[in-house]
Copies of this chain bind each other. A is one copy, B any other.
Amino acid sequence: LCPPGVLPLCCRPPAWDRPPGLPLAPCRSFSNNKIQVELDESSGVAMMKFKSPPVNSLSLDFLTEFSISLEKLENDRACRGVIITSAVPKIFSSGLDIMEMCGKSTEHYAEFWRAVQEMWLRLYGSNMVTVAAVNGNSPAGGCLVALSCDYRIMAENPKFSIGLNEAQLGIVAPFWFKDTFVNIVGHRIAERSLQLGSLHPAPEAHRFGLVDELVPEEKLLERAAAVMAQWLALPDHARQLTKSMMRKALLDRLVAHREEDIKNFISFISKESIQKSLRMYMEMLKKKKS
């Protein structure tokens, strides 16, 4: 017996009924430098793997390739969902590339920040089902990528952490990072976590809903495919309108203040005190390497 109000599978139009099972039999793959994309046409699911060692930094090039890949998939009628993960061990993405924010021209800062905005607008506003399979550390901009998806599964490894830790570097997450975060964990947890620049170990992140579930790392992609199948069982049109209803206000807010947001970023990042903090941080990273 079917509970009242539920449309049983037998009544669904054929298009909704495509078996979305994985593992993916790759059908088309984009030739990219920093992101590997494979679309399985039978399931309608694309696998997007970040492969920009050592830490999948969100450089200008990376962001541009990310946005173009998302646009291609969005316009491909064969694609209904994307799983986002990393091909680099232990790291999902380390976030915005500090090199792009250090000692560059005003024009460069503007171009870089516009690329960050563009990536978020495409990902947070995507019509596709987006599932993040977080298989490593995911600080700052890396966390934003995960937050912008429809669902987050993380490897249940307490050594992996996730969070908007900008305050630790002496910088501030912009309002749309903050609002994306608040929409997921609520105002209070966001207020505390953002002020402390907290990086939450996977179990803690799961406890307050920053990620939706934890699975052993080796089962991450399998579980992502199962979750994707669950979301794709819904009619696309109704799901997309519902998603838009939930996210439109926030997307519109950035679109309306995009140039102002770029100006704010340039003015903040150009400050000598901020540049000094970032240079010290980069020095420290270099010493670590050698």
Q: Which residues of A contact B (CB under 8 A)?
A: 2-8, 10-11, 13, 55, 91, 94-95, 137, 139-140, 142, 150-151, 161, 165-173, 175, 178, 182-188, 190-192, 194-197, 199, 209, 212, 230-231, 234-235, 237-239, 241-243, 245-247, 273, 276-277, 280-281, 283-284, 288
Known contacts A183-B191, A190-B246, A191-B246, A137 near B4 by CB under 8 Å: yes
Instruction: Give the distance to chain B from A181, nearest Cβ to Cβ, in Å.
Output: 10
> How far is A137 from B186 in the complex, measured between Cα atoms in Å?
27
**What is the oligomeric copy number?**
3
* Interface contact A3-B171, CB-CB below 8 Å: no
| Among candidates B11, B139, B184, residue contacting A5 with C-beta atoms closer than 8 Å | B139
Q: Which of A150, A182, A190, A235 has the most CB of B within 10 A?
A: A235
Expressed in whole angstroms, the Cα–Cα distance for A105 and B242 within the complex equals 26
- 7 closest Cβ pairs, A-B complex: A5-B139, A167-B238, A170-B235, A4-B94, A11-B280, A183-B187, A172-B241
A3/B137 in contact, CB under 8 A: yes
- Knowing that A167-B242, A183-B187, A195-B231 are A-B contacts, what are 5 other residue pairs whose CB atoms are under 8 Å apart, sorted by A's residue number? A3-B199, A4-B91, A5-B140, A7-B169, A175-B245
